[in-house]
Chains A and B, each alone.
Chain A
Amino acid sequence: MSWYYIEGILINCGYVLMVVLGLSLLTGFTGLFSFGHAGFMAIGAYAAALCTLYLHIPYIPALIIGGLAAMLAGLFLGSFTLKLKGDYFCIATLGFGEAVRLIFDNVQALGGARGLSGMAMKTTLPVVLTVSAVAVAALVCLINSRHGRNMVAIREDELAAQVSGINVFRYKMMALAISALYAGIGGGLLAHYMGYIQPAMFKMVKSTEYTIIVIFGGLGSVTGSVVGTLLLTFLPELLREFENWRLVIYGLAVIIIMISRPRGLMGGTELRIGSLIRFFKNPFGFFRKRGAAGEEGGQGHA
């Protein structure tokens, strides 16, 4: 495999990671499932592409505008649907994702089914790495704060969260908005990596794929989402030789992991630098002291 090929896969990982991180906040930490994140990604991609193509806005601001556009769409969707309970919200996002794709498919001013093309291919590996690092750091900061804890509380028990003075609706909105922002930026990265976008890139299968990655990596774990993204983006590429069989193998791999580790790869735990150091210093004592490790790790973040 040439470096050029690997670089391409890594850039792929980068924009997938953006969507997955956003989805991780929504699904893994707040407990809301979404099957419409490709829709937010599409909005971000189109908004960013329009900005650079017609408004001649520089690349980075265009990415941010793309993210904000998706965020607005998220707030719009949330204001109608977040009063719905669990599964119903999930169905609403599914409808939203498909609706967004079909709108882009039919609006001729936006290129219809042919989409937009001619964007400068500015999404390079350094850009992707920087954006990903900032995104991960910001998400970790958010989760380890009262806002993040309130979202987790909602996931754990909505009624208990309410009587603990948490404005459940507001925090669900916040989670959805930030999640859409991440997905939108991911879409902008995609648009400026491929140089063209088409509505067909944002099918429901894509949304499902992102949800699979989040669950595969482990709900409620940022490191799980990162590891999940890397594994599940590389796997189909490594399996290209097997042609038609590769998706079967992909599916099998996911099933096997979910059977052997039902809570996903990382399942609610994080890989911390502190605990890694402790592990290498004293591999045997590490597991015995595990109970105390969580608390130390928590304080280390402050």
Chain B
Amino acid sequence: MHKSDTVVLSLQHVSKHFGGLMAVDDVSFNVHEGEIYGLIGPNGAGKTTIFNLVTGIYGLTGGSISFYGSSLASLKPYQIAGEGITRTFQNIRLFKKLTSYENVLTACHRDADYGVFQTLLRLRVPGKLGKFATQEAALKEKTEELLRLMGLWEYRDMVASNLPYGLQRKLEIARALALNPKLLLLDEPAAGMNPEETQQLMRLICDIRDRFSLTVLIIEHHMDLIMGVCDHVFVLNFGKPLAEGTPEQVQNNEHVIEAYLGKEEAHAHA
């Protein structure tokens, strides 16, 4: 998919203070449609806080966030998900005691709109009376499609907490995709994966971006993943913006090298 000029997500002078701690301080960037945008920085730089601000889990201290031009400020997390922003978590948050199948099926709920009383009408007839059966069938089809796409179909009956770590991360992505997002936020999707799995994940991220015409915002520590898939990278340090640009630009940025490796080593490198 080609990048377009449409701005999907725009952060303007965003800050978040927890008491005296400035977790995020005056951060601004734009994510364009179809882009894979990387968010990197040392531990505690405020990357996850930015995710929590975008998804409405935290309220803003200052600045504004807009999605396709409309402000997200007054929306609750579930409404933001409904607008088309979904995410995964750094410390995987699946519906642990449910199977993979149920995890994804649950998240498909926005595709159906039958009411409470319609759950009692289970006949498969056309029209309003058969809404439950037809919509449920569609949800199940979609769940199967998503699980097959993510290579989780064989594990559909396994309880989520029993899945291997890598698959849990994939399941979380599948669950996020079930909501038909326009923007997908991935919080350290490659954490705990070996290089081979990371490679696979990179391909998968590009794949789903093209298939679902998504825009992806990604937090990651694996530099090879960031350098491999991202179109743009934003670097944070102690809540403050440090650099922005293409992966190559960022890689050679003095401040970035300094933040990651310290001053002495930076000289040694040069």
Q: Which residue numbers of A lie inside 8 Å of B, CB to CB?
A: 138, 141-142, 144-150, 152-153, 156-157, 159-168, 174, 268, 291-292, 294-295, 298-299, 301-302
Residue from A148, A168, A301 in contact with B78 in the complex, judged by beta carbons closer than 8 Å: A168
Contact assessment for B133 and A292 in the assembled complex, using a CB-CB cutoff below 8 Å = no
The answer to whether A145 and B95 touch (CB under 8 A), given A150-B106, A163-B87, is: no
Whether B116 contacts A174 by the Cβ 8 Å rule is yes
- The residues of A that contact B76 with a CB separation of less than 8 Å are 162, 167
Contact of B101 among A142, A295, A301 (CB under 8 A): A295
Which B residues are CB-close (under 8 A) to A164? 78, 81, 86, 106-107, 109, 175-176, 178-179
Which of these, A142, A160, A295, contacts B95 with CB under 8 Å?
A: A160
| Chain B residue at smallest Cβ distance from A138 | B120
B110 to chain A minimum Cβ distance, whole angstroms, is 5
Q: Assuming A147-B116, A160-B94, is B106 touching A165 (CB within 8 A)? A: no
Determine the chain B residues whose CB is within 8 A of the CB of A144 once the complex forms: 119
Contact with A along B78-121 (1 / 0, CB 8 A): 10011000110100011111110110011111101010100110
Q: Are A157 and B77 in contact (CB under 8 A)?
A: no
Residues of B with Cβ closer than 8 Å to A? 55, 57, 76-78, 81-82, 86-87, 89, 93-99, 101-102, 105-110, 112, 114, 116, 119-120, 122, 132-133, 136-137, 139-140, 156-158, 175-176, 178-179
A295 close to B93 (CB less than 8 A) = no
Are B77 and A163 in contact, with the CB atoms below 8 A?
A: yes
Q: Which of B57, B136, B175, B179 contacts A302 (CB 8 A)?
A: B136
B158 to chain A: closest CB distance in Å? 8
Contact of A165 among B81, B93, B96 (CB under 8 A): B81
Structural contact, B96 and A163, CB atoms closer than 8 A? no
A292 with B157, Cβ < 8 A, contacts A149-B109, A268-B97 known: yes
CB distance from A301 to the nearest CB of B (A): 8
Contact partner, B139, options A146, A160, A162, A294, Cβ 8 Å: A146
The 4 closest A-B CB pairs, nearest first, are A165-B81, A156-B95, A145-B119, A160-B93
Kindly list chain B residues whose C-beta atoms are within 8 Å of the C-beta of A298: 101-102
Contact status A165-B78, CB under 8 Å: yes
Q: Is the CB of B137 within 8 A of A302?
A: yes
B140 to chain A, nearest CB (A): 7
- Find the B residue at minimum CB distance from A142: B119
Q: What are 27 A-to-B residue pairs whose CB atoms are below 8 Å?
A: A138-B120, A142-B116, A144-B119, A146-B106, A146-B109, A146-B136, A149-B105, A149-B109, A152-B95, A152-B98, A152-B106, A156-B94, A156-B95, A161-B95, A162-B77, A164-B81, A164-B106, A164-B175, A164-B179, A165-B107, A166-B78, A174-B116, A268-B97, A294-B157, A299-B140, A302-B133, A302-B136
Kindly list chain A residues whose C-beta atoms are within 8 Å of the C-beta of B87.
163
* Contacting pair A294 B140 (CB below 8 A): no
User: Is A157 within 8 A of B82, CB to CB?
Assistant: no
Complex Cα gap A166–B176 (Å):
12
- Specify the chain A residue showing the minimal Cβ separation from B112: A146
Question: Which partner residue on chain A sits nearest B102 by CB separation?
Answer: A149
Q: A146-B136, A148-B119 are in contact. List 14 more A-B contacts (CB 8 A).
A: A138-B120, A145-B114, A153-B106, A164-B81, A164-B109, A164-B176, A165-B81, A165-B86, A166-B78, A268-B97, A291-B158, A292-B157, A294-B157, A301-B122
Question: In the bound complex, do residue A163 and residue B55 qualify as a contact, i.e. CB atoms below 8 Å apart?
Answer: yes
- The minimal Cβ–Cβ distance linking A231 to chain B, given in whole angstroms, is 24
